[in-house]
Chains A and B, each alone.
Chain A
Amino acid sequence: MVMTRGRGRGMRGGMMRPMGPGPHFGPKMKQFVPRLPFDMVLCESAFPRVKPAPDESAFTQALLKRNADLSPTPAEQAAVLNLVTKIQAVMDNLIVDPGNFDACQIEEVRQVGSYKKGTMMTGHNVADIVVILKTLPTKEAVEALGKKVCDDLRSQEPQEVLVLTMLPNDRGFEISNSEATVRVLVTTIHQNLRKLDPELHLDQKILQSHLAAIRHSRWFEENAHHSTIKVLIRLLRDLRGRFEGFEPLSPWMLDLLAHYAILNNPSRQALPINSAFRRCLQLLAAGLFLPGSAGISDPCEGGNIRVHTAMTLEQQDLVCLTAQTLLRVLSHGGYKQILGLEGNSSIASEMSVWDGVVVSALEKAYEKPPERPPQDDDTDNMDADDDPMETTDN
């Protein structure tokens, strides 16, 4: 199921399809070539500037200021680094010498997520660590591991006994002290994945997502270490947090979007932050994450999966219309409200006036298909919904 999601065929063999969607010879044939939406940056040469670009230094300054506000403080960084280091050490110890700890065996421990990528936000001092077990991840084993790690930490630093807590959850467990939290995400080696029993073990989807998290951070390290990307990711996360319409965008989508907005341009040089931030909104507004768009295909999954297909159609509509409204607000000079330096998030959903220009909010375009009402909101069924639209033939 996962593999077939949003499978296009654009990239195969580097061929360029001369025309949009091909004909469809049967319901099975998914003949549909997603097309990238209009992107001003990619066709700048077709649109020479009539007059020089407006001065955006104030906007750039605001972006940088916002980024500075969002970045974690040195104290926070030190606290989380400290906790991560200790936990990593304990886990490494367990790999080398499990002693009498036999509830599970650890294959590998890796740091992932915003901590690893350097895109953490202040006020959310949580680092993610993925633990790959050689054994199968039963809930008991995970809890036992949590206890063991916690006990070892306590024995190392008796003064921390009181503040250190361990909370098991669906994904693994969390270890927190007063200043920082480390989320330990448990997964298992690939060959164990098919042996899972939903009654006993952690959910397979969760385990897979943890493996994916490792791939993501590896990809990020290799491709997206540029500082502007990190700044942009932080700004986008903040945007997502403040505007409800962006909720459906996952962190991974934001990472890819930021990377795309900054590096996918004719010169292959990183765009400045102000252009890149605007471009994100432009891309979303132009329907990068709408049905029929090639979107961004996931570099960490095979089969050319477009990341945005993880959202339901309704969510895709919502994300797009939010970006469209914000883009208009931005172009009329409302960057302070967008960045949250002034005002509130109502600009995305209510009418606002900028310099005499009335900017109205947009309405949803997505309508649930009447024929198959029960299938609408299910992500899995989204393909079925999606396909007729995208393959354009039924």
Chain B
Amino acid sequence: YTFEFHTATALPVYMQQTSQPAATVAAVKTTGNTWQTFKKPGTMQGKTQKPKAPPKPQQLHYCDVCKISCAGPQTYREHLEGQKHKKKEAAAKAGPTPSRHGASLRCELCDVTCTGADAYAAHIRGAKHQKVVKLHQKLGKPIPSTDPVVVGGTTKTSTTTAGATVGAKTTTSGAAATTGTLTAADGKKDDLKDDLLDLKEKDVEPVGQEYIEEIKNEEGKVISFNCKLCECRFNDPNAKEMHMKGRRHRLQYKKKVNPELVVEVKPSLRQRKVQEEKLRRQQLREEMWRRREEERLLEEEERWYWEERRRYEEECEYLDWCRRYPRGPPGPPPMMPPGMPRPPFMPGMPPMMPMRRPDSSDDRHVLAKHAEIYPKEEELGAIQKIVSNTEKALKMVSDYLAEVDAPKEQQVKPKAKKEKEDDSKGEDDKKDGEKKEDGPPRMLKGVMRVGILAKGLLLRGDTNVQLVVLCGDKPTRTLLDRVADNLPKQLAVVAMEDKYDIQRVVEEAALVVQNIGEQRISVNVTLTSPIMREQLLHDGDSQVIAAKDPPDVLDKQKCLDALAALRHAKWFQARANGLQSCVMVIRILRDLCQRVPTWGPLNSWAMELMCEKVIASAGQHLSPGDALRRVFEALASGLLLPGSPGLLDPCEKDPIDAASPLSAQEREDITASAQHALRLIAFRQIHKVLGMDPIPPPKFQRGGRFTRKRRRDNSTGEGNDSEGELDGGDGKKDKKEDGEDSKMDMDKETK
């Protein structure tokens, strides 16, 4: 009595709407036939007439559930234990499930559902069906007719007559969603024929023939087919046609080939839709989370950026302040009572202090290297001592000479007066300047630092520094002798406890002051006079003035070089000192030029000029690592090669390439070396360029508090203190000299 179960495949709602007996509904409930079971289509329909448990094994070990016979009791037991059987049994218990398809044909005997007439026919012809028929004949069981049972799909049939004939158990089941109404119709054979026709007529265009491969045997005969889209195989050529029309294939085709292919709606459309909707929502949710996470990261990045920028600015301020007030007590600049502004002895940054928070690995390496090459406190102290003693002594020599010469020179040209005035400012003692304002012009007008001393480019191990004495007139051998004679006496006055050795180097237009001690430091004092250059700047008068040259005038070129050195120092203080990272990079490169023979020929003025131009032209602040890399980039791109614009010397009247002493081969070699260095830097091997060991990345430990603390520590640390000490009373002077000198130069230039 099957019909309850078949009707039960419809929605329970339907059941209640129909005039079916209440028992039917109950049956539905007890069988627990719910939509969940619909996932296994085409099985076990009409099965329920069989007993739920397999029958006791008879002589022929026949499993009624699975419709197979077993060879013996043993295999039969095994079969009963097997997965396949259990599944089928469970399915049978759960009750029949309707086909997913709109309509299908069933072979009751084998319990196989076919999607179409062709498929059904193929099944009937097939070996499996024949086997079952034979078995049933053997068992003496009734053989149903080969007429198919139509399952679902039509609009008419929804119930069957209870008394279906034994021959053809015609069972129809109402299709779930498509059947709008349940008419208590009659399930006649005519209907069945109509159904079959329907199935046939619902002919769809076969699709995707090109995806069905023919598999041939050795003789080249086609033995089977393989559908690449559905990953299935079949042997029957008819099946191929059917497959291409089949729903599964069409779905795969839609999915994998043509998304626009229309595939008929499934009965369980609504359920599917719900599921799809769910999936879609989940995806959306995931998407949203991802986006939110991204936004959060971006935001965080942004925050870090501003935070970083703020700190950077703070740091700049702090640095500025450090540079201006090197001796001030530690603490953030705004809270500082500003001391006397004075430039430090070593302009630029004391080691390790400015970049308290090294940024990149490159920066860390550059800073470490810089700390390594930066002179030690004692070295700086020793140099500072001899330099300031020499300066003081020269000042006294100047006083002495002025006194001696005073009666002779009465005529004071206005220009000389002006120069003198300027000069007096240049002297470290202002009182002196004022006092002598109206006095006779001096032979020695002032002493100035040049070269690495003035630029703050001293490196560890440097023992040779330069001073330039500006003279009122062209310096002569006689003057040099007078100074050299008097200097020892004055030095003895200035520094009683120290002993100095003084040598004249007439060909260099200089005298050399050397201390006597374990650390030999020599100070070259070159005599020169702006008049030497004036002569050059005014070509017309040159012969006239040249005619007036005293006979023992000192080497002209040396004097001019000394003047140039003066201008270079001034330029440096004006341009390079204020430029972030510039001085540090120049020190590093100075070290490189000393260390690597290839770089030796690159003179320091050209190098300084180049660094300044390259770093300044970046248009943004560069960290030390970036600045160094940029210098190498510039060289690598051919800055020194023939055809490049060259390094125009800003301190000369005529256009001159500051790097002109370099030969073509030297330029080529330096460029090649810089090119390799650039790539080493880019590929994390900056230590090879700097000639040091690699520094491992720091441990991760960066709180704001930590860095702040370190900064304070540093600001009171050695670097600062030593700077302050060294600075002594000279800071003032340096600065004044700046202004004065530039004025002087401009005077010359404009004339």
Measured CB to CB, the residues of A under 8 A from B are: 9, 12, 15-23, 25-26, 28-29, 31, 35, 37-40, 42-51, 53-54, 102-105, 134-136, 138, 140-141, 144, 191-192, 195, 197, 200-201, 282-283, 285-287, 290-293, 313, 316-317, 320-321, 324, 327-328, 331-332, 355-360, 362-367, 388-389, 392-394
B702 close to A (CB within 8 Å)? yes
On whether the beta carbons of B645 and A360 are closer than 8 Å, the reply is no
B384 close to A (CB within 8 Å)? no
Shortest distance in angstroms between A219's beta carbon and chain B's nearest beta carbon? 26
> What residue of chain B has the Cβ atom nearest to residue A279's Cβ?
B637
A28, A43, A51, A317: the one within 8 Å of B683 (CB): A317
Shortest distance in angstroms between A286's beta carbon and chain B's nearest beta carbon? 4
Known pairs A50-B645, A104-B257 / 10 extra A-B pairs, C-beta < 8 Å: A18-B313, A23-B357, A29-B301, A31-B304, A47-B648, A49-B645, A135-B258, A136-B256, A292-B682, A355-B664
On whether the beta carbons of B637 and A29 are closer than 8 Å, the reply is no
On whether the beta carbons of B259 and A135 are closer than 8 Å, the reply is yes
Q: Known A135-B260, A200-B229; judge A47-B641 contact (CB<8 A).
A: no
B259, B655, B676: the one within 8 Å of A192 (CB): B259
How far is it, in angstroms, between the C-alpha of A141 and the C-alpha of B258 when the chains are bound?
Answer: 10
Q: What residues of A have a CB within 8 angstroms of the CB of B684 in the complex? A: 388-389
How far is it, in angstroms, between the C-alpha of A104 and the C-alpha of B208 when the chains are bound?
Answer: 10
How far is it, in angstroms, between the C-alpha of A287 and the C-alpha of B210 when the chains are bound?
Answer: 52
> What residue of chain B has the Cβ atom nearest to residue A138's Cβ?
B257
Q: What residues of A have a CB within 8 angstroms of the CB of B702 in the complex? A: 23, 25
How many A-B residue pairs have C-beta atoms within 8 angstroms? Tell me: 250
How far is it, in angstroms, between the C-alpha of A291 and the C-alpha of B361 when the chains are bound?
Answer: 13
**B:672-728 near A, CB below 8 Å:** 672, 675-676, 678-680, 682-685, 697, 700, 702
* A-B contact list, 8 entries, CB within 8 Å: A23-B357, A38-B614, A38-B630, A140-B228, A287-B679, A332-B664, A365-B680, A392-B363
B144 close to A (CB within 8 Å)? no
Q: What residues of B have a CB within 8 angstroms of the CB of A42 in the complex? A: 617
Q: Known A23-B702, A46-B617, A135-B260; judge A40-B668 contact (CB<8 A).
A: no
**B:628-659 near A, CB below 8 Å:** 629-630, 633-634, 636-639, 641-648, 655-657
B426 close to A (CB within 8 Å)? no
On whether the beta carbons of A140 and B210 are closer than 8 Å, the reply is yes
On whether the beta carbons of A134 and B260 are closer than 8 Å, the reply is yes
> What residue of chain B has the Cβ atom nearest to residue A314's Cβ?
B683
On whether the beta carbons of B665 and A22 are closer than 8 Å, the reply is no
Stretch in contact with the other chain, from B17-25, B239-247, B435-443, B619-627: B619-627
Shortest distance in angstroms between A375's beta carbon and chain B's nearest beta carbon? 15
Shortest distance in angstroms between B747's beta carbon and chain A's nearest beta carbon? 24
On whether the beta carbons of B637 and A40 are closer than 8 Å, the reply is yes
Shortest distance in angstroms between B284's beta carbon and chain A's nearest beta carbon? 15
**B:360-413 near A, CB below 8 Å:** 360-363
On whether the beta carbons of B645 and A138 are closer than 8 Å, the reply is no
How far is it, in angstroms, between the C-alpha of A362 and the C-alpha of B559 when the chains are bound?
Answer: 43
How far is it, in angstroms, between the C-alpha of A103 and the C-alpha of B211 when the chains are bound?
Answer: 10
On whether the beta carbons of A389 and B683 are closer than 8 Å, the reply is yes
B558 close to A (CB within 8 Å)? no
B256, B637, B675, B680: the one within 8 Å of A200 (CB): B256
**B:337-375 near A, CB below 8 Å:** 357, 359-363
* Interface-centre pick from B228, B301, B361, B675 (highest chain A CB count, 10 A): B675
B616 close to A (CB within 8 Å)? yes
> What residue of chain B has the Cβ atom nearest to residue A327's Cβ?
B638
Q: What residues of A have a CB within 8 angstroms of the CB of B634 in the complex? A: 38, 40, 286
How far is it, in angstroms, between the C-alpha of A53 and the C-alpha of B646 when the chains are bound?
Answer: 10
The dominant DSSP class at the A interface is loop
On whether the beta carbons of B633 and A37 are closer than 8 Å, the reply is yes
* Interface-centre pick from B257, B304, B679 (highest chain A CB count, 10 A): B679
On whether the beta carbons of A22 and B308 are closer than 8 Å, the reply is yes
How far is it, in angstroms, between the C-alpha of A45 and the C-alpha of B671 when the chains are bound?
Answer: 22
Q: What residues of B have a CB within 8 angstroms of the CB of A104 in the complex? A: 257-258
B300 close to A (CB within 8 Å)? yes
On whether the beta carbons of B630 and A31 are closer than 8 Å, the reply is no
On whether the beta carbons of B665 and A357 are closer than 8 Å, the reply is yes
Q: What residues of A have a CB within 8 angstroms of the CB of B617 in the complex? A: 38, 42-43, 45-47
Interface residues on B, range: 35 or more
On whether the beta carbons of B257 and A141 are closer than 8 Å, the reply is yes
B35 close to A (CB within 8 Å)? no
How far is it, in angstroms, between the C-alpha of A392 and the C-alpha of B630 when the chains are bound?
Answer: 16
A21, A37, A103: the one within 8 Å of B623 (CB): A21
Q: What residues of B have a CB within 8 angstroms of the CB of A364 in the complex? A: 679
On whether the beta carbons of A21 and B256 are closer than 8 Å, the reply is no
Q: What residues of B have a CB within 8 angstroms of the CB of A134 in the complex? A: 258-260
How far is it, in angstroms, between the C-alpha of A50 and the C-alpha of B647 when the chains are bound?
Answer: 7
Q: What residues of A have a CB within 8 angstroms of the CB of B302 in the complex? A: 12
On whether the beta carbons of B623 and A54 are closer than 8 Å, the reply is no
On whether the beta carbons of A358 and B259 are closer than 8 Å, the reply is no
Q: What residues of A have a CB within 8 angstroms of the CB of B304 in the complex? A: 22-23, 25, 29, 31
B255 close to A (CB within 8 Å)? yes
Q: Per-residue 0/1 for B503-520: is the Cβ within 8 Å of any A Cβ (1 yes, 0 no)?
A: 000000000000000000
Q: What residues of B have a CB within 8 angstroms of the CB of A320 in the complex? A: 678-679, 682
How far is it, in angstroms, between the C-alpha of A206 and the C-alpha of B300 when the chains are bound?
Answer: 35
B259, B305, B625: the one within 8 Å of A136 (CB): B259
On whether the beta carbons of B668 and A35 are closer than 8 Å, the reply is no
B309 close to A (CB within 8 Å)? yes
Q: Known A135-B257, A140-B211, A195-B255; judge A291-B621 contact (CB<8 A).
A: no
B312 close to A (CB within 8 Å)? yes
How far is it, in angstroms, between the C-alpha of A197 and the C-alpha of B488 when the chains are bound?
Answer: 94
Q: Known A20-B622, A29-B304; judge A332-B668 contact (CB<8 A).
A: yes
Shortest distance in angstroms between A171's beta carbon and chain B's nearest beta carbon? 19
How far is it, in angstroms, between the C-alpha of A12 and the C-alpha of B301 when the chains are bound?
Answer: 11
How far is it, in angstroms, between the C-alpha of A360 and the C-alpha of B668 when the chains are bound?
Answer: 9
Shortest distance in angstroms between A45's beta carbon and chain B's nearest beta carbon? 8
**B:232-271 near A, CB below 8 Å:** 255-260
Q: What residues of A have a CB within 8 angstroms of the CB of B362 in the complex? A: 392
Q: What residues of B have a CB within 8 angstroms of the CB of A38 in the complex? A: 614, 617-618, 630, 633-634, 637, 639
How far is it, in angstroms, between the C-alpha of A39 and the C-alpha of B617 when the chains are bound?
Answer: 10
Q: What residues of A have a CB within 8 angstroms of the CB of B260 in the complex? A: 105, 134-135
Q: What residues of B have a CB within 8 angstroms of the CB of A360 in the complex? A: 672
B613 close to A (CB within 8 Å)? yes
On whether the beta carbons of B626 and A35 are closer than 8 Å, the reply is yes
How far is it, in angstroms, between the C-alpha of A115 and the C-alpha of B608 when the chains are bound?
Answer: 50
Q: Known A16-B620, A22-B305, A38-B633; judge A393-B680 contact (CB<8 A).
A: no
* Interface-centre pick from A50, A102, A192, A332 (highest chain B CB count, 10 A): A50
Shortest distance in angstroms between B704's beta carbon and chain A's nearest beta carbon? 11
A37, A102, A356, A392: the one within 8 Å of B360 (CB): A392
